[in-house]
Each structure stands twice: as structure tokens, then as C-alpha cells.
A and B are shown apart, each in its own frame.
Chain A
Amino acid sequence: MNEFRLTLRLQGKEENGGDVLFNDFIKQLEAFKIILADAGRRVSGGKTVEFKVVELSHNSPAMVGVEPIVGKGEPDYRAAWRKRIIDDIESIQDRGVAPDDMGTIELEHVEQFGSMVGDELSEATILVDGREIPVSPRLKKNVKQIVGEDEYSKGSLTGMLEAINVHGDELAFWIYPPTGRSKVRCVFPEAFKDRALVAFEKYVTVYGWVRFKQRDSHAYRIDIEEIEIHEQDDLPTLADFKGIAPDATGGIEPHRYARAFRSA
């Protein structure tokens, strides 16, 4: 028994003698790693947690055991981390309920983790202190239900355009809003490629179909229809508007004017 260890046991398809295909093994471990790291961040108040492999065997079936690394003088989140992972998986898989602090992106990682079970893998099981938590296809199904269908609206977003990708199936860049919101992935058609490259590392407003996940407060993606670049040196400043229209409200105090305007 190891107090902080979490082991993943994988069984491949019968047609492969129960062995896991290397590619599937890597994919499943990648999804597992992201879940571990997400839970680490949530129990440690946003810190990046590193892990070490403490068990590795292919003794039919394959098993990988990991443990978080705690730095000298750092708070020890290991017990909370392990409990969180088990609680989260069980809550989503058995009851169809996601924890409040788990965002859509984290949930999609859980979905990814559950997606190969029943297809590429005949079994995926998490082992904790002799307890076995089998991952079932219900995990993926429940995540899909919790996340729900995307909501759409036409809209815009302003921020720094960064991290452009002009290769692959989907051309995309990221917008980083200045108010501290999460970055938003913006997907654009080939026709916008030159415009997007010109706008790289500039402050822009993008317009298009804005997509929301039902559980999230803000958009996660925009399908771009227009990119407006804001060359900062060409723009007016707040000072340019100072005192320019002393009679703008017809002698009424601005807040009274606004109140009257809103009530009109």
C-alpha cells in the first residue's frame, strides 16, 4: 500500500492478446496525465504539480503508478489530490454530476480519458489502496450530457492576437482579453490567413459566431468573420474627450441625464 500512489491498469483488446497498442497506451496516459494535473491545480490553488512514475509493469495487464512530487517546504497536497481524482471520477461516472470547480476544458479531458474504454481498450481501471475504480463508457456519456450542446451567438471579442496556427485542419489563433478572462480560440477560413498574419501580436477586435459551453461564463471559441486591427498610435485617448462638449447634456448633470435617457 502506498498512501499517495494512484495506479492505472489497462487491458487491450482480446484480438491483440490483451496487449495495449502503443499508440493507444500513449493516448490514454496523456489523458490520464492531464486529469492528474488538473486535479493537482485545483487542490493546490492553481499550482503546477509534477508527478513521478513509481510503478510500471507489463505483467498482463499493463500498469502505471504515479505519485505527485512535493517540493521542500511546500504544502503537501498529495492526499487531497488523490481523493479529489477518485471523488471526481466517481461523481461524474456514477451520478452524472460534475464538481463545481471543474470547468468545461477539464471535463473534456475526463471525456477523453473515458473515450477509449470499450473500443481500443477492453478495460481501464484506477487502483487506490486495493480499491478498484473501473472506468466505464458511462464516464464519456455523462460528460457529454453535463457539458451539453454549444450555444451560439453573433458577437465580438477584443484582445491581443497570439499563438497563430496556419497549418493543420483548422486555422486558428488565440485572443487574450485584457480583463483577465481566459484566452479564446478563434478559428478562421483560409481567406483570412493573410489578415490573421498581419494581425499577429496586435490588439484586435474579432467578429463572428461566438460559441459558449453551457456551464461556462464566457465564450471558448469564435468562428471568425472579420478581424479589426487597432493600431494604438492612431486611436483617440480619454484625454481627447475632456471638456469637448460642455453642453453635451443640455446643462443637466451627467448621471441625471443618463437616468432620464434610460427612462425615456
Chain B
Amino acid sequence: MNEMERLVKKGDMVIVTSAITIAEVLSTNMPADKRIDFPRLFGRREHVLIDVDRRVAVHAAQYRDHYVTCGDQYAPKTLDGADSIHLATAVREKCDAFYTFDGIDGKHVERRVRKLLQLNNQVASDSLTIVAPSLNTIAQPVRSGLFKNP
């Protein structure tokens, strides 16, 4: 995480996340003052919050449909609704990498849903790098100079 912080601070990395992240994070036992501060974090240029608009929603639904019917060994298990929104957001914003720990135990599915790390490189027909955050996985995918041209 330190490396990620450094890149963000330098302006070489932008963290993009879906607006549903706010709902997810505020459901924790976060101190009251930080609960107020957390949504304000996305007023910073380096933390970009993306609405769940109709395009994201349709894209997410397509991912869920795809995995129900794809016919692989895990079908009809599909993506969790929130996961599908996060993935659709990342793909539509052309993110270089999607960071998650989901599936770090090597499992492909858990109960009803598919885990995300196992979808690395291909989410339905879209290409997306999905990795667990670590010092080794951060340096490669970043785009530099994102703020240089408004």
C-alpha cells in the first residue's frame, strides 16, 4: 500500500472506485468523524468516484448473465451484484488494474458466487487485469501523467 500511496501522491496513479464503495465502507465500525470524512475523500483529484449509471448497470447485468450461461464448470454460479458493478466500472473507465483480495485463497467460487481474482485478464469478453495489491503488482499497470492534460 505504501507504494500505491506514493504513486497516487506523485500524480502517477488515480484510484477509481464505484460509488457503492461508500455504502460498503460506511457499513463498518468506522469512527463517526471518519464516516463523515470518507465520502469527502472522493473530492480529491486522485480518488475518482464513478456513479452507477444506466450504462454501468447494464454492463454489470451482462456480466452476471454471461456467467450464468457460459457453460463452464462453475456455471450457473455467477458474480455477486456488487462485484459485477465494481468490475463494470473498472472496465468502462479503462482502468489498468483492478485490486482485490477476493479469491486470494485460490478458490474460484464460494457459495453462490464467483471470486474475482480468478477472473484475471478476462471478465466475460472484456480484458481486465485483476490482482491482489502488493508491491510487485502495483508498478506495472499504472498510467503516468494522468493529470498533465486536463
B133 CB to nearest chain A CB (Å):
11
Bound Cα distance from A248 to B25, whole angstroms: 9
Whether A210 and B48, one on each chain, are in contact in the complex, defined by CB atoms closer than 8 angstroms, is no
State in angstroms the CA–CA spacing of A158 and B8 once bound together: 17
Residues on B with C-beta less than 8 A from A118 are: none
Q: Are B80 and A235 in contact (CB under 8 A)?
A: no
| Inter-chain contact A240/B30, CB cutoff 8 Å | no
In the complex, A257→B147 CA distance in Å? 34
Q: Is the interface on chain A under 10, 10 to 19, 20 to 34, or 35 or more residues?
A: 35 or more
Q: Do the beta carbons of A263 and B111 come within 8 Å of each other?
A: yes
- Residue of B24, B54, B104 near A212 (CB, 8 A) is B54
A189 located at the interface, meaning its Cβ lies under 8 Å from any Cβ of chain B in the complex? no
Q: Which of B16, B29, B44, B92 contacts A248 (CB 8 A)?
A: B29
B residues near A217, Cβ cutoff 8 Å: 55, 92
A142–B14 Cα gap in the complex (Å)?
40
Complex Cα distance A157/B51, Å?
8
| A247-B34 Cα distance, complex, nearest whole Å | 14
User: Which residues of B128-150 have CB atoms within 8 Å of chain A's CB atoms?
Assistant: 143, 146-147, 150
B43–A205 touching, CB < 8 Å: yes
Question: Which chain B residues lie closer than 8 Å to A257 at the CB level?
Answer: 28
Q: Which of B28, B41, B55, B94 contacts A245 (CB 8 A)?
A: B28
- Least Cβ distance of B76 to chain A in Å? 17
When the two chains form the complex, which single residue of A151, A219, A248, A261 contacts B30, counting CB atoms closer than 8 Å? Answer: A248
Contacts of A148 in B (CB 8 A): none
Q: Does A212 contact B41, Cβ atoms closer than 8 Å? A: no
- A254 part of interface (Cβ distance < 8 Å): yes
CB contact under 8 A between A244 and B146, given known A153-B53, A179-B94, A262-B82: no
- Does residue A160 face the partner (Cβ distance < 8 Å to B)? yes
Residue B3 at the chain A interface, CB threshold 8 Å: no
**Residues A241 and B34 in contact in the complex (CB < 8 Å), given A151-B54, A205-B43, A210-B53:** yes
Cα–Cα distance between A179 and B147 once the two chains are bound (Å): 9
Tell whether B110 is near chain A: CB-to-CB under 8 Å: yes
A178 and B146 form a contact (CB under 8 A):
yes
Q: How far is the CA of A263 from the CA of B43 in the complex (A)?
A: 29
A180 and B94 contact, CB distance less than 8 A: yes
- Given contacts A179-B95, A205-B43, A255-B100, 7 further A-B pairs with CB under 8 A are A162-B150, A178-B146, A179-B16, A180-B143, A236-B40, A238-B5, A262-B80
Q: Which 6 A-B pairs rank lowest in CB-CB distance, beginning with the nearest?
A: A230-B43, A255-B101, A248-B28, A176-B150, A236-B37, A262-B82
Chain A residues with CB under 8 Å of chain B are: 151, 153, 155-158, 160, 162, 176-181, 203, 205, 210, 212, 217-219, 228, 230, 232, 235-241, 244-245, 247-250, 253-255, 257-259, 261-263
A-B contact pairs, 17 of them (CB 8 A): A155-B51, A157-B51, A158-B49, A180-B146, A212-B55, A235-B44, A237-B41, A241-B41, A247-B29, A248-B28, A248-B29, A253-B101, A255-B101, A257-B28, A258-B102, A259-B80, A263-B80
Residues of B within 8 A of A (CB): 5, 8, 14-16, 24, 27-31, 34, 37-38, 40-49, 51, 53-55, 80-83, 92-95, 100-102, 104, 110-113, 143, 146-147, 150
